[in-house]
Amino acid sequence: MDPFDSNSTERANLPRNMIENSMFEEEPDVVDLAKDSATFPTFPALDPDEVAYEPRSSRLLVRGLGENDMDEDEEDCESSARLLGMSFMNRSSSHRPSSSPYTRQPPPRSCSRPSARTMVVCVLFLVIVASMTMVLYFLPGCTFTKMGCKPNKTTPIEPVYPESTNGSLFPWAQLRLPQSVHPLSYDLTLNPDLDNMIFSGRTVIDMLVLHNTKRIVLHSANLNITKATFKLGDGDASDVTVLEYKPAQQIAVKFTEDLKAGQHCVLTLVYSAKLSHTYDGFYNSSYTDKDGNKRVLAATQFEPLSARKAFPCFDEPAFKATFLVKITRKPNYMTLSNMPKAITTALPNGLMRDEFERTSVNMSTYLVAFIVADFTPISKNVSETLVSVYSVPEKKEHTEYAMDTASKLLEFYNHFFEIDYPLKKLDLVAIPDFLAGAMENWGLITFRETSLLVGKQSSSLEKQVVASVIAHELAHQWFGNLVTMSWWNDLWLNEGFATYMQYTSLQTVLPHLDIGNLFLAVRFRAMEKDALNSSHAVSTEVNTPEQVEEMFDSVSYEKGASILLMLKASLPGDGQFRKGIIQYLNQFSGLNTDTNDLWNSLTQVDVSTQHPNVSEMMSSWTSQKGFPLVTVSRKGDEVTLTQEHFLLTSDNATNTSSLWNIPVTYVNDSCSSAPECRQVFTLKTKSDTFKLPESVKWLKLNYRNTGFYIVHYGDKGWAALRDALSSNVSVLTHEDRASLIHNIFALSRLGRVSFRHVFNLLNYMTNETETTPVLEALLQLNNLYRLLDKRQEHALVARMKDYILHQFGSLMKKQSWEEEESVSKQELRSALLETACGLTEENCTQQAKALFKKYVDSNGTARIPGDLQQVVFNVAAQSGEDWSTLLDMYGHVTYDAEKRKMLRGLASTQDTRRIVWILNAGLKGNIIQTQELPLVINTVCNGFAGYLFAWDFIQENWDRLIEKFPVGSFAIQTVIKSATSQFSTQAHLNQVKGFFSSLKERGSQMRSVQEALETIRLNQRWMDKNLPTLQKWL
């Protein structure tokens, strides 16, 4: 059974007072006798879309009993009424004890007046009886039997409808749209006025009626609809009234007679609106050109729920259609959309109208895009596709790398998927004001400038960032665009696959970028979130717009990619996984899917006996949150593996019943680093064993960390691995060494090992020179250092600083300050030197100051190596004079990657006046773009001087923040995590809990809030347990 059936997400979006009890009250133990609706009659007048409703009166009566989501083929009236009946029977029986404690036995042969308590009980009993009588009388269409309430055939159901803006009842009450009518095509005409920041539009939707209905419901948000006409079949168009229900961002047209299944109809809507001042919908943006003039443009960002802010539409992924777009503009502007331009017409008012070809593919609304700007392109034909990279004119010279990378990746994907990119053109556009890293609009991919533009002298590390984003977005042209998830609960099918493919493609196309190191690091970080009780399953229920926004997180992206890597590594042969992917894309091309469709496709091509059912194996990884902890124990020649849920907040994780189908890989001391050394054992049960010669000294599980699980080796197992590394670092691959470091820190946080074990393992680090183990150790130790710093444990902070410099000092001193070609060495150098200078190591800070002075004196012509820019700007920002110089340079530099590093440097200042200034500047958006505010807050929070200022700033400006960034969005998630993840005291826990509780619908229910509270409690627990150990060992 699929616990995430899409039908279960169609919960009625009722007025708040109707649902708040069901949201917040605990559901009692009630027997539901409504599992088999076949024995009850159906209601012939019921609209097929209405099956999920409950009668008004039964909804009111069941408020405190909890919600019961129904499948579409079940009758809510029946189940609710029977639930009610059974509940009353249970409650009635509970009021009939054999001897009531409330009745006192009178003395024999005596008469006395009843006591006050007896009278109260009697009155209560009469009230209950009267209430039940009224229920039985007023419950519509019910005849009570032994089975509960049996509906009468003749009584129609009255759904609970909300009120529309004009006072009429709105004919729909769910987040998800009804399935009665599907769009076939849209004709969109948009007339943006960039002088007044408004636009008008006309949308013509050609639709097909799938089953009889008296309504059409679609989405619209912040659009002023001035005229609407409707045409059925070949009939004449007539004016219709449009109802609007703003809380659900829905509009509707009601009809007196049924629209019949199979009929075609056309709805035409004329409207006007303001260009959005946030980063979604059809929004305005601006930049300053080389002459200092402000240039205005308009662009779109529709994913996930914002196409409805630009034109009325069926704004759900499964409502695919074709689109024809027309846009008017001034002659000095150009326009772009998903398809090539077909014709340009001069209008009498001096404007131009560009009409684009109708899309040659069916698309979800969130992939539609259009831009009005004065951008400049470079273009090239690649595999019969015209590839273009657009930027503002001043940055055209920074587009060459993107063009070269996109061309190579397009050819790679065409070959890898064995399906050619289906459109005639592919545009990559750098937008000055853009919140996300990029957006995969079909044929018109939009990017932040920092994610697309690279200077000719940029470091390989900067090119790695750009190549990663391009690879991700191009992968979406197949995963997400060609085959799309049916609903946002399966967002990982888009984002997990695109994340996996970005790393897979770059390892082949641009191997010198060492992308594998980055993939390893993001897998570690995904585990940190997924170890929390507030995490969610990869495929999980989504019922509100905020929950849709919150799906864009590391579980959908990095965990999704990680489990795909694990699956690929566990399948025999390199081609097995690819065959399954190709089958999936071919089978569902142009359609919508869910997670089971993917697993079934992979199962169909997997003919090996070792893995007969991919679906059986992988459903355990997508249908439940978290991941397993595998514990290893040895006795003689027998190795026992035991699995349990790695759950940080559980006092006893073994109490949880979660089980995973784990493809455990392992190596041992006889053969440990080459791929052929790897052996596989599938752990499906709580515990299982396999044989191993007693002569084997040690085991290392999870070879190269391709599996999404953590391993505990026990005291003897860890000691053997420590000894092996102390004797010979290269006895394990660098990925395996990094995973040991990650695992030992995770086990310490779980409380399975003391921090003494962490220090013992890290002793080998004085001989470590590879990037991934050093980066993981530095990241973990820096996190601990900042946590102690925020707790003002000054003595421990000083000793932790000495410890880090002692362990890594020799490696830090070996780093050069000259140009370095290797990406891996650049990663290592930047991490080591940022740590050294962050700890004010004298040699590091002197070198950084000298480089900055040379840079300033040369007017920016003396180049700082790209991977060293951040450490140099961080050091400069600690000086008052250099901070001001850096701010001035920030205002004039044109290269975006360098500009962003300057901003991080400015935000790293420990001067409280400057901290306050930079936070406010990020909110205002004049000097510092508001899109960078989450980065500013994150950087400020890393320092001791700024983290409390940032927390106060967030509380004071919360309403302005959620005006800029949607509630639940990745930006808001980042802001909350940055501000709270280093708190570790009860006082801070109370503050955070109190603030977010006060927000109500403005953010109190976000998953990221629960993560924040959980993280603070974990920090508090860890500090209480480990401070004595740290004081002793440091």
Active site residues: 473
Q: How many CB atoms lie within 10 A of CB 825?
A: 17
Residue 76 CA to residue 295 CA, distance in Å, equals 56
Q: How many CB atoms lie within 10 A of CB 500?
A: 26
Q: At residue 991, what are phi and psi to the nearest 5 degrees?
A: -60, -50
Q: What is the DSSP letter of 359?
A: P
3-class SS of residue 590: coil
Q: Are 182 and 210 in contact (CB under 8 A)?
A: yes
Q: Dig out the tokens for 851 from the structure.
A: 């480089």
Strand order in the sheet with 250-259: 213-219, 250-259, 243-245
Residue with tokens 């405190």, as numbered in its chain: 64
Q: Are 472 and 413 in contact (CB under 8 A)?
A: no
Phi-psi region of 613 (alpha: psi -120 to 50; beta: other; left: phi over 0): beta
Strand order in the sheet with 281-288: 281-288, 294-301, 370-373, 334-337
Q: Are 314 and 323 in contact (CB under 8 A)?
A: no
Closest to 584 in 3D by CA, of 442, 477, 483:
483
Report the largest interatomic distance among the alpha carbons of the chain, rounded to a whole angstrom: 113
Residue 913 CA to residue 887 CA, distance in Å, equals 14
Q: Are 391 and 407 in contact (CB under 8 A)?
A: no
Residue 969 CA to residue 957 CA, distance in Å, equals 17
Residue 378 CA to residue 313 CA, distance in Å, equals 33
Q: How many CA atoms lie within 13 A of 904 on its CB side?
A: 17
Residue 171 CA to residue 159 CA, distance in Å, equals 9
Q: How many CB atoms lie within 10 A of CB 349?
A: 6
Q: Which residues contact residue 247 at a Cβ distance below 8 angstroms, ignoring those fewer than 6 apart? A: 13, 15, 162
- Strands 628-635, 710-712: parallel, antiparallel or unpaired by DSSP? parallel
List the beta bridge partners of residue 78: none
Residue 392 CA to residue 376 CA, distance in Å, equals 6
Q: Which residues contact residue 910 at a Cβ distance below 8 angstroms, ignoring those fewer than 6 apart? A: 878, 943, 944, 945, 946
Residue 711 CA to residue 721 CA, distance in Å, equals 13
Question: Peptide bond before 192: cis, by omega within 30 degrees of 0?
Answer: no
Q: How many CA atoms lie within 13 A of 3 on its CB side?
A: 11
